[in-house]
Amino acid sequence: MTKKKRAGIWQRRFSKPVNNDMLRFTASTEEDVCLIEYDIAASIAHVKMLRKQKIIPGRQARSLIRGLRQIRTEYLKGKFRLLPEHEDVHMNIEMRLQELIGSTGQYLHTARSRNDLVAADLRLYARAAIAKLIKKIIMIQKKLLESARKYKTVVMPGYTHLQNAQPVLWSFYVLSYVYRFQRDIECLQYALKRVNISPLGSCAFAGTTHAIDPDYTTRLLGFDRFADNGLDAVTDRDFLGEVSYICTQIMLHCSGFAEDMILYVTREFSLIELDESIATGSSIMPQKKNPDVFELIRVRAGNAIGNLTGLLSMFKGLPSAYNRDLQETKKVFFRQVENTFQCLDMSDMVIPYLRPQKNIWAEQENIICATGLADYLVQKGYAFRQAYDMIAQCVKESKGKVDKFIKKCVNMMKIKEEMIRSLIKPKNAVKAVKSKSGTGPKQTNQAMRRAERLVRKNQQFVRQIRTSSAAV
C-alpha cells in the first residue's frame, strides 16, 4: 500500500479536507468485510460486460480483471484489509486496484454506482446465506431422523399445557421438528426467488447513456433476471427483511426445541439424561448439571426478534433511492444471519447427545392413556361423550390413583381388568393409534420415509443454488 496520503475518490471534488471523525463515523469497513468476495465477483462480471460491449478496451479490461483477482487472492490470504479512510468495501477495492494496476484502475467504475453495486453485493451475500442456512437445516433434519430411527420404539408422554396429555413415540416427537424446519427451508426457497434478481446496471438509479448489457452480468453472476426498474432496484431492501424474518422463524424453532430439552432433562421430567459433554456445572452447588447451551439457544431467539424489528424500523419512511441509512441495515442483517448460523450449528451438535431414558414408563399403566380408553369404549358402542363421562367419573373417584382407577373402570364398564390394564399401558395406547399423521408406529414410519424424501429434495435444491465465485 502507498505510504503517501491521497484524498479519497469523491473527496477530490471538495476544496476542504473532510473531517476525519466524520469519515470514521460514516465508514462501513467493519461490516463490509462480509461483502469483499461478492464485491470482487460483481466487479469482475461488470468489467467482462464492459469489455463485451466495447465500452472499455480489451487490454484495460484484462488488466482490471487480473487486478481484481489479485485482490481476491490477497483477501483469501488475509492480506487485504479494509481501511476506514476509504469508507467502504467498494472504495477500498477501487483504491487497491489503482495501486496494483495504476491509472487503468480508473476504468472500473464506468457505468455503475455504489448504489447498484452494494445492492448486488448484498443479494449475492443473501443468496449464499440462504444456501448455507438450508445446508445447516438439512444437517439437523438428518440428525433428527437418525434419532427417530435409533429410538424408534421409545414411548414418552406428550404434553399440552405442559401437562401429561397422551403418550407418543419419541420418533413422532422428533419428527415434528423435522417438519417445522422443513417449513423454514420452504420459506428460504421462496425467498430466493426475490433475492436472486440483479440490480447491477441500474447505476445510481436512473440508468446510463452507455450501451451496457445488464442481462449479461445477470447471467455471469447466476442471477435469475435483471430488475425491471432502476429506482426500485437500488431502493429495495425487502429481501433483507424477508430473510431476517425467516432467520427469526428458524431461531424460534431452535428455541422451542431448546426449551423442550431444558424441561426434559430436569429431574421432574426425567425424559432425557443430560450428557456431560454438553452440560455445564455450578460454582457453588456441586450436584448441579446445567443445560446452559440450550438456554443460550433459547435466548438467541430474542436477539433475532430484536434484530428483525431493528431492521424494519430502519426501513420505515425512507425516501426513494439510496439513502445512507441503508448502510446501517447491513450490520444488523449480517448479525442476524451469523446468529442463526451459530444456533443451527449448536442445535445440530447437541442432537446425537440426546438419549431418551429407559422405557419402563411405557410398560406401566397410566391414566395418560384415558383418551385411548374412551376411543375403545366408542368402538364398543358407547357415544363418545358417554365414554368420556364414565372415564371422567373414574378419574374423579380414584383421585387419579391408577389402581383405584382400574378398579372403578372394571366396575363401571364391565370390561375385564386385564383388558383395561392393557389398554392403559402407554406402549399399547400408542400402537392403537391408526390415523394418518398420528403417533401410531405405522403412521410414524410413513412420516419418517416422507421426511427422508423431503430431505433428499432439499439436498437437490441446495446443490443447484449458484455461488458467485463459481460464476466469475
Which residues in this chain contact ligand ARG in the complex, by CB under 6 A?
28, 88, 114-115, 118, 322, 324, 326-327, 330
For residues 391 and 400, give the distance between their C-alpha atoms in angstroms, rounded to a whole number.
11
For residues 179 and 50, give the distance between their C-alpha atoms in angstroms, rounded to a whole number.
47
For residues 20 and 122, give the distance between their C-alpha atoms in angstroms, rounded to a whole number.
27
Closest CA to 179 of 445, 451, 444, 436: 451
Cβ atoms of 90 and 41 within 8 Å: the answer is no
**Nearest approach, Cβ of residue 162 and ligand ARG (Å):** 46
**Nearest approach, Cβ of residue 309 and ligand ARG (Å):** 21
Q: Which is nearer to ligand ARG, 256 or 310 (CB)?
A: 310
**Nearest approach, Cβ of residue 120 and ligand ARG (Å):** 11
Cβ atoms of 145 and 455 within 8 Å: the answer is yes
**Nearest approach, Cβ of residue 113 and ligand ARG (Å):** 7
Cβ atoms of 297 and 345 within 8 Å: the answer is no
Q: Which is nearer to ligand ARG, 3 or 324 (CB)?
A: 324
Integer CA distances (angstroms), 206 to 116, 171, 321, 322, in order:
10, 56, 10, 12
Q: Which is nearer to ligand ARG, 29 or 196 (CB)?
A: 29
The full DSSP string for 215-226 is HHHHHHTT-SEE
**Nearest approach, Cβ of residue 342 and ligand ARG (Å):** 24
Q: Which contiguous run of DSSP H or E holds residue 168?
A: strand 163-169
Q: Which is nearer to ligand ARG, 88 or 260 (CB)?
A: 88
- Give Rg (Cα) of the chain: 30
Q: Which is nearer to ligand ARG, 174 or 326 (CB)?
A: 326
Q: Which is nearer to ligand ARG, 121 or 184 (CB)?
A: 121
**Nearest approach, Cβ of residue 27 and ligand ARG (Å):** 8
Closest CA to 1 of 70, 80, 84, 68: 80
**Nearest approach, Cβ of residue 326 and ligand ARG (Å):** 5
Instruction: Find all residues with CB under 8 Å of 370, minimum gap 6, and list them.
Output: 391, 395, 424
- 10 Å Cβ neighbour count for 69? 13
**Nearest approach, Cβ of residue 115 and ligand ARG (Å):** 5
Indicate left, alpha or beta for 157 from its phi (over 0: left) and psi (-120 to 50: alpha).
beta
Active-site residues, by number, are 161, 282
CA 8 from chain centre, in angstroms, equals: 38
Integer CA distances (angstroms), 358 to 83, 151, 156, in order:
59, 10, 10
- What is the DSSP-derived secondary structure letter of residue 280? B
Q: Which is nearer to ligand ARG, 319 or 381 (CB)?
A: 319
Q: Extract the C-alpha cell encoding 455.
A: 430431505
The full DSSP string for 130-159 is HHHHHHHHHHHHHHHHHHHHHTTT-EEEEE
Q: Which is nearer to ligand ARG, 82 or 195 (CB)?
A: 82
